[in-house]
């Protein structure tokens, strides 16, 4: 067997997964958009709960990780840049590293770990307990009631968390690691603001929304793939995490290439 066969197989499997996710999102979106008023109140309640769980409850962990990351980046930058007289380059480093890349990716990883797993396990358990069939029997479309509110809630939350993560990394990094050093706060902030362009902000926030949609869709898809056995729940949850991470990294690379190459 050629050494290219497993590579080709992996690529085909990835493309098949992407097709399934896109088909799943489009069909759920279809039922959602074409009958906007049906179940509006019940659905808006789920979006609110999802934003609360994925977004608001994650602020604490996001703050810690963002502050620690900020300390690491600022410490390294402050220790290296003055050697070359390049203090003002700190803005470039923060915008390129935090705004363009680490902000959206770290926020996505935290959302996958906290909420992606929870969503996949929750829907998987609903499948095993026949709750999804019960919804269908009541005339409630699971795509509309279970999938879309979670996908939308996760996208909103990831968007907000990314923005918050970037602010805490930049401000927290300076306050904890840069305060009192050779770079003043004014120099630090003006360097970041001068470097940050419209494209950086758009790319970062676009990534966050797309990552949120991917995480919500992949988690709910895998949750609803659980059959009748309870042992399928951890299996599908693991697959949801791996698929989400893989797709998020691939899409991150694609968006970076489109915007910055």
Partner 1 sequence: MSKLIEARGLYYQTDSGALVFEGLDAEFYAGEKAAIIGPLGSGKAALLRLLMGLDRPQKGRVYLFGKEIDALKRFELDTLRQGIGIVFENASLISNLKVVENVMLPLQYHTDLTLDAVMERAVSLLESVGYRGDVWALPGPLPSYTKKTIALARAMVLDPAIMIYDRLMEGLDMHQSLQLLKFADAFHKAKKDRLSIIIANDEGDIKDTMPDRILHIENRRLF
Chain residues binding partner 1 by CB under 8 A are: 31, 34-35, 38-39, 41-42, 122, 125-126, 129-131, 133-141, 145
Q: Which is nearer to partner 1, 20 or 141 (by Cβ)?
A: 141
Q: Which is nearer to partner 1, 50 or 243 (by Cβ)?
A: 50
Smallest gap from residue 138 Cβ to partner 1 (A): 5
Burial of 218 per CB tally in 10 Å (0-12, 13-18, 19+): buried
Smallest gap from residue 143 Cβ to partner 1 (A): 9
Q: Which is nearer to partner 1, 45 or 253 (by Cβ)?
A: 45
Question: CB neighbours of 118 closer than 8 A, spacing ≥ 6?
Answer: 53
Smallest gap from residue 127 Cβ to partner 1 (A): 11
Q: Which is nearer to partner 1, 42 or 193 (by Cβ)?
A: 42
Tokens in use for 49? 């709960």
Helices (H), the chain: 4-34, 40-54, 59-80, 90-94, 103-111, 117-128, 131-137, 142, 148-173, 185-195, 198-224, 232-260
| CA 18 to chain CA centroid, nearest Å | 16
Q: Which is nearer to partner 1, 67 or 146 (by Cβ)?
A: 146
Smallest gap from residue 187 Cβ to partner 1 (A): 50
Smallest gap from residue 110 Cβ to partner 1 (A): 22
């Amino acid at each position: 067997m050629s050494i290219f066969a497993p590579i080709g197989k992996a690529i085909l499997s990835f493309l098949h997964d992407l097709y399934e996710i896109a088909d799943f999102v489009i069909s759920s979106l279809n039922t959602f958009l074409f009958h906007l008023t049906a179940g509006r109140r019940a659905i808006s309640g789920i979006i609110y709960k999802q934003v609360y769980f994925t977004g608001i409850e994650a602020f604490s962990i996001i703050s810690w990780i963002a502050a620690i990351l900020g300390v690491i980046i600022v410490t390294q930058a402050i220790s290296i840049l003055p050697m070359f007289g390049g203090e003002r380059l700190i803005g470039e480093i923060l915008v390129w590293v935090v705004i363009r890349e680490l902000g959206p990716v770290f926020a996505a990883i935290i959302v996958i770990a906290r909420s992606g797993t929870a969503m996949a396990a929750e829907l998987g358990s609903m499948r095993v307990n026949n709750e999804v069939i019960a919804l269908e029997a009541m005339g409630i479309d699971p795509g509309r009631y279970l999938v879309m509110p979670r996908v939308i809630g996760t996208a909103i939350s990831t968007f907000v968390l990314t923005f918050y993560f970037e602010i805490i990394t930049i401000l927290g990094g300076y306050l904890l690691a840069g305060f009192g050093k050779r770079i003043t706060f004014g120099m630090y902030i003006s360097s970041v603001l001068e470097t940050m362009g419209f494209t950086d902000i758009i790319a970062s926030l676009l990534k966050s929304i797309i990552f949120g949609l991917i995480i919500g869709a992949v988690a709910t898809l895998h949750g609803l793939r659980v059959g009748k056995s309870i042992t399928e729940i951890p299996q599908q949850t693991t697959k949801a995490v791996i698929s989400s991470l893989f797709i998020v990294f691939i899409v991150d690379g694609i968006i970076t290439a489109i915007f910055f190459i």
